[in-house]
Amino acid sequence: MAPWRSSWVWPLSRIYPIHLPREMRTRRALIICNIEFEHLSLRKGAEADVEGMTELLEGLGYVVDIHCNLTSQGMALVMKDFANRKEHCTSDSTFLVFMSHGVRAGLCGIESRDETTDILSLDTIYETFNNKNCRALLGKPKVVIIQSCRGGKVGSVWMSDSKDPAVPTPIEADSTPAGLEDDAMFEVHLESDFATLHSSTPDTASWRHPKKGSVFIQRLIEQFRNHACNSDLQEIFRKIQYSFERFPRQLPSQERSTMLRKFYLFPGH
């Protein structure tokens, strides 16, 4: 018997459009990497992460802006300047890559001493690039990659072979107000089209080799190189997560993702 095959095709309306040919696109990406700190340890191997991510993003068609060793205020200013770049108007997407020491609340600036000093709140990233403050990226994928610890806990636990079954969480039905009319204006989500992948789950550590760089960045680069030609972004994210199945100390986490469609970096392949 022949294997079952589905003839169903994902509607184009559910895929992020890429209107301009590659030679006319002005894709830009931002990398912020803190390596040397005044009070915290040197992030040995982080240079390899910058080099690897730059090579990957350039291969995906992005011009990469790189900034290293910034305070939280400096990171915020760099993001604001990047959000205002005119090239986003003729781009279809952006990548925002952040690599630093980190805590649950955010990313450490180079003057950080503890969990409250010189910390860039993750909210600042989304506020800077939301649809109110970055109009040029309205309706376009904004891919956020965050390599940092989110606490000091080890991300694994010893388990027996048996466990209680998971209890499903009920999902509330949408409720749409009726009887509304527009008045020559339209309303959009304040925050949409973000896809975020953290290097670890909340409160846990991320791991880095002092020469090769972060485990997360290494595996991310590998999965993008192998699958960007034929997989959508969130499927690549799942492949990255799956690559950690036998590395229980760390598990990348998709959070605060507001993608409304599938995003293919190379549509048509």
Residues identified as active-site:
101, 149
| Placement of tokens 């595996």 in the chain | 219
**Total residue length of the chain:** 269
CA angle (213 as vertex; 212, 214 as ends), nearest 5: 135
125 near 98, Cβ under 8 Å?
A: yes
The span from the CA of 94 to the CA of 4, in Å, is: 38
Instruction: Write out the two tokens for 55.
Output: 């090579």
Instruction: Tell me the residue type at 6.
Output: S
215-227 and 46-59 are packed helices; what angle lies between their axes, rounded to 10 degrees? Answer: 20
Q: Which two tokens stand for residue 4?
A: 């079952």
Instruction: Please check whether residue 57 is in contact with residue 66, taking contact to mean a CB–CB distance below 8 angstroms.
Output: no
